[in-house]
Amino acid sequence: MLRQTVPISLWCRMLYLTAMTRSFLDMSTIPAASKNPTAPLATPPSASDLRPEATSAPPSGIVDVVNHGRTKPGLIPLWVGEGDLSTPAFITDAATRSLADGETFYTYQRGIPELREALARYDERVYGAPTSTERFFVTGSGMQAVQLAVRMIAGVGDEVLIPTPAWPNFGAAIGVNGATAVGVPMDFGNNGVTLDLDRLAAAVTPRTRALAINSPANPTGWTASREELAGILALARKHGLWIIADEIYGRFVYDGAVRAPSFKDVMDANDRILFVQTMSKNWAMTGWRIGWLEAPAQFGQVIENLIQYSTSGSPVFVQRAAIAALDHGDSFVSHQIDRARQGRDIVVNGLRATGKVSAPAPAGAFYYFFKVDGTTDSRAFAIRLVDEANVGLAPGAAFGGGGGEGLRLCYARRHDDLHEAIARLQRVIAAI
């Protein structure tokens, strides 16, 4: 039998026509905008096009009130977590010298060696035991230290327990990483705020990965005792949990001690604890955006990589300022603490004198968290205080479970401002 042959040129034409036919049929199922890549989309992008971790990030309830009153003439702002002192000259001068020396280039992701050494010196001076420089990692703020800590240990499907009321950024950092922040309400009584360790233990589930412990606490001023910290650590050891220890306000205590009790007092070398810290509070450096993460040295490369792919390191001139603060700032820190102690007394005594505030003086940090009898909606009341007293306070609802009826007042301010603010608040509270 003779085999018919088809010229190569004809085969090529047949293959081309087949491919074109298939392409035409495929194109018929593609939306019109996709057929023409230069055509405008039919609808604009919406939140549904974004990752749920991003869209579920909550707006700040504090900023909500701030935006309501920030342009009011004569308003006394006691709503955010910073004092009113500018960064001291001995710190700013160090940054100026660094800039003059041309230190404006990329640098070590873990922080310049001189700053890591200064952190180790400071840590030994405050906590009484030497710590390797390899445990310290410079971050672009305390907030970034929190983000790195969460990124290292918790993600989708995981839970992190947080005693509440709590600084809202902590829970939000957990959420944007895909994990779930689980609030464990604290108790309010005549003796102040307390943490029920049994309630904390009962909240642990198979999904729990970590405990986030802030002491002294924002917003309540709760300051854990050494025994409470030992109990929390025992719980973490029992369940194999991490602890993210936020001891940022550890120097702001009012019982005559140099610092608050710390997990450093009760931990062993092998405990799973990440310490988040900042230069912001002690040294009046909130706008500099520099902090540090203390972690086991064996995670150094992991942390360096996370910093590399987020900020690629902190500016050298800012790090030089941090060295000056750590090495020469003890007297300034002492001044800040003494000033805050006096501010606390002005605020607590003045508000309790109304007969409608009963919260005791906080043991630590620089906030007074209180409820005014006869009020239940903290946001509405905070707005009212802006409008009628021209004083800005943070609504307790912004701090999660247990805080909904309270208000937070930052007393790290000049005393004449505090006296005036209390007089204004007293007039509004008296009308309730």
CA gap 301, 304 in Å, rounded: 5
pLDDT of residue 35: 56
Structure tokens that stand for 258 in this block = 């140099």
Give the pLDDT band (50/70/90) at residue 53: confident
Predicted confidence (pLDDT) per residue in 261-319, tens digit: 999 999 999 999 999 999 999 999 999 999 999 999 999 999 999 999 999 999 999 99
> Is residue 3 scored above 50 in pLDDT?
no
CA-based torsion, 264, 269, 272, 274: positive or negative? positive
Domain housing 338:
59-85+331-430
Q: Are residues 212 and 191 in the same domain?
A: yes
Contact residues for 271 (Cβ-Cβ < 8 A; gap 6+): 233, 236, 237, 243, 263
Q: Give the pLDDT mean for 26-33.
A: 49
Q: Cis peptide leading into 219, omega within 30 of 0?
A: yes
User: How many CB atoms within 10 Å of residue 223?
Assistant: 24
Burial class (CB in 10 A: 0-12, 13-18, 19+), 18: exposed
CATH of the domain at 355: 3.90.1150.10
Predicted confidence (pLDDT) per residue in 96-128, tens digit: 999 999 999 999 999 999 999 999 999 999 999
Q: Are residues 160 and 226 in the same domain?
A: yes
> Is residue 6 scored above 70 in pLDDT?
no
Q: Cα 414 to the chain's mean position, in Å?
A: 25
Measured CA distances, 36 to 23, 27, 55, 226 (Å)? 14, 11, 30, 67
Pairing of strands 394-395, 187-189: unpaired
Q: Are residues 309 and 237 in the same domain?
A: yes
Higher pLDDT pick, 10 / 335: 335
Structure tokens that stand for 422 in this block = 């209390």
Instruction: Give the total number of structural domains in the chain.
Output: 2
- 33 belongs to a structural domain: no
pLDDT of residue 191: 85
pLDDT of residue 8: 44
Predicted confidence (pLDDT) per residue in 355-407, tens digit: 999 999 999 999 999 999 999 999 999 999 999 999 999 999 999 988 889 99
Structure tokens that stand for 220 in this block = 């309540």
Q: Are residues 253 and 229 in the same domain?
A: yes
Give the pLDDT band (50/70/90) at residue 43: confident
- 98 belongs to a structural domain: yes
Q: Are residues 219 and 271 in the same domain?
A: yes
Q: Are residues 421 and 299 in the same domain?
A: no
Q: Are residues 68 and 112 in the same domain?
A: no
CATH of the domain at 115: 3.40.640.10
Q: Are residues 397 and 341 in the same domain?
A: yes
- Nearest Cα residue to 246 out of 168, 175, 305: 168
- 23 belongs to a structural domain: no
Give the pLDDT band (50/70/90) at residue 4: very low
Q: Are residues 298 and 171 in the same domain?
A: yes
